[in-house]
Amino acid sequence: MVQLIPGQHIHLIGIGGSGMSAIARVLLQQGYYITGSDRSTGDMIDALKQEGAQIYHGHDATYVNDAEIVVATSAVSNDHIEILSAQAQGIPVYRRIDFIGKLTQGYDCIAVSGTHGKTTTTSMVAYILLQTGRDPSYVVGGVMGNTGKNGAVGDSNLFVIEADEYDNMFHGLRPQIEVITSVEYDHPDFFRTPNQMMDAFSHFVGLLPQDGLLVACADDPGALMFARNREIMALPVATYGIRDASAYWQARAIEYTTEYTDFDVYYKDHLQGHVRLTIPGTHNVLNALAALVVVCTLDVKFTAAAAALEEFRSSGRRFELLDDYEDIAIINDYAHHPTAIRATIEAARLRYPTRDLWAVWQPHTYSRTAALIDNFAEAFDKAHHAIITEIYAAREKPIEGVSSHDLVEMMHHPDVRYVPMLDDVVDTLLADVKAPAVILVMSAGDATRVTRDYWQALKERNR
């Protein structure tokens, strides 16, 4: 049983990751002494250091010395040197599933889950509540564009959290409100079959109390199934959608321009008002609808929520515009699943309809590439050009017979290129891209440096 008392020394293994860094931020603000270790460096590590964390580069058995609790990222195995050292010293070691419930204990928890869209939806809910004076605590899987943070402690009893399905983290939560944006097979390194993943979401929904609310996307078959099952039991449900006419909450009259996405929101056929987003894409209309359902349930006025959404900026690596330099838009995105890739490319075409679109994708993990390879091969049809890099292994070792080269050989795209090394991707873009264009780099790994290096090289070349 985790016992949390402010002032304790808590050590986080993998502190630089999106989820672990957010937890570290919350703990720092709650008055804990935080140390951490990570083999990576970067802005997140630097920010945590400035906020008071002591962070070691790399991993060593001595880094856990004097810690009272150790929390380990899902990316490390049980034989990790710091886990073994902590166990030898009698220091309790917890995974996120064990720890996250204690972090949110005592709050009214709003948990946003789903294969796609959960980071943006969580950010939208948190930002609307912040802008309307509700001051929630929050943990998000990406740095929020409006706050510059991925975690914070507020003064209210609300805690908004991105409910990650990987490693069954979301099973450690006890939410009052759950959102399911989508349920589509992913994480084959953890969920060996689609049924295992569905079972995980089923357990998550079962954590809601009798009076808890399930908010589910009616346009997604998996999410809708859980909504229908809960309706059969006469338990609280709110559905939202664009295509499904049975959804309680609907977006209608959607218009896309080069600057905005506009739509009207209806609840049970009654117009609630108009929403304008500065972020593009049909998927973001759905994300905004989900956020509106949640906050209106919490008695936030629709007009105030819509006003906040118009000011909403995307989270880090969620259609994040680095620059629009001499008619070349340079964008980072986190898309690493076929459905997310298609949605992000569609959003780019909607925002920049007359520009040449270059889609650069770094596959993430061998197991995902192998399990979804047929869908990946068809995900780039709406891009004018596609560049596929070598696979980012993350926590995995290579799988024999699985490679980006083989994926490219399967594709029937008119201009798809296998460019394994990131430096060579930059050179290819410099040689072949002609304005007006869009460079869309999609990666859950380290390919964000392609956008940075390309942007810097463009400026050098044009001096």
Q: Are residues 291 and 412 in the same domain?
A: no
Out of 48, 68, 95, a domain closes at: 95
Q: Are residues 119 and 255 in the same domain?
A: yes
Q: Are residues 122 and 217 in the same domain?
A: yes
The answer to whether residue 234 is domain-embedded is: yes
pLDDT of residue 87: 97
Out of 279, 311, 343, a domain closes at: 311
Domain with residue 80: its CATH number is 3.40.50.720
Q: Are residues 290 and 142 in the same domain?
A: yes
Q: Going by C-beta distance under 8 Å and a sequence separation of 6 or more, which residues neighbour residue 281?
A: 261, 319, 343, 344, 346, 347, 350, 351
The answer to whether residue 1 is domain-embedded is: no
pLDDT by position in tens, the chain (length 463): 668 999 999 999 999 998 999 999 999 999 999 999 999 888 899 999 999 999 999 999 999 999 999 999 988 999 999 999 999 999 999 999 999 999 999 999 999 999 999 999 999 999 999 999 999 999 999 999 999 999 999 999 999 999 999 999 999 999 999 999 999 999 999 999 999 999 999 999 999 999 999 999 999 999 999 999 999 999 999 999 999 999 999 999 999 999 999 999 999 999 999 999 999 999 999 999 999 999 999 999 999 999 999 999 999 999 999 999 999 999 999 999 999 999 999 999 999 999 999 999 999 999 999 999 999 999 999 999 999 999 999 888 999 999 999 999 999 999 999 999 999 999 999 999 999 999 999 999 999 999 999 999 999 988 7
Q: How far apart are the first and last CA of the chain?
A: 61
pLDDT of residue 462: 81
Out of 311, 341, 365, a domain closes at: 311
Domain with residue 451: its CATH number is 3.90.190.20
Q: Are residues 419 and 276 in the same domain?
A: no
The answer to whether residue 101 is domain-embedded is: no
The answer to whether residue 100 is domain-embedded is: no
Pairing mode of beta strands 328-333, 93-95: unpaired
Q: Are residues 327 and 229 in the same domain?
A: no
Task: Judge whether 453 and 426 are in contact, CB under 8 Å.
Answer: yes
Integer Cα distance of 264 and 271 in angstroms: 7
The answer to whether residue 2 is domain-embedded is: no
Q: Are residues 126 and 266 in the same domain?
A: yes
pLDDT of residue 1: 62
Number of structural domains in the chain:
3
The answer to whether residue 279 is domain-embedded is: yes
The answer to whether residue 3 is domain-embedded is: no
- Residue 301's domain comprises 106-311
The answer to whether residue 4 is domain-embedded is: no
Q: Are residues 159 and 88 in the same domain?
A: no
Q: Are residues 248 and 134 in the same domain?
A: yes
Integer Cα distance of 463 and 458 in angstroms: 9
Q: Are residues 90 and 110 in the same domain?
A: no
Percent of the chain at pLDDT > 70 equals 100
Q: Are residues 168 and 199 in the same domain?
A: yes
Integer Cα distance of 392 and 443 in angstroms: 9
Domain with residue 176: its CATH number is 3.40.1190.10
Integer Cα distance of 182 and 185 in angstroms: 10
Residues noted as catalytic = 118-119, 162
Q: Are residues 124 and 256 in the same domain?
A: yes
pLDDT of residue 7: 96
Output the pTM of the full model.
Answer: 0.96
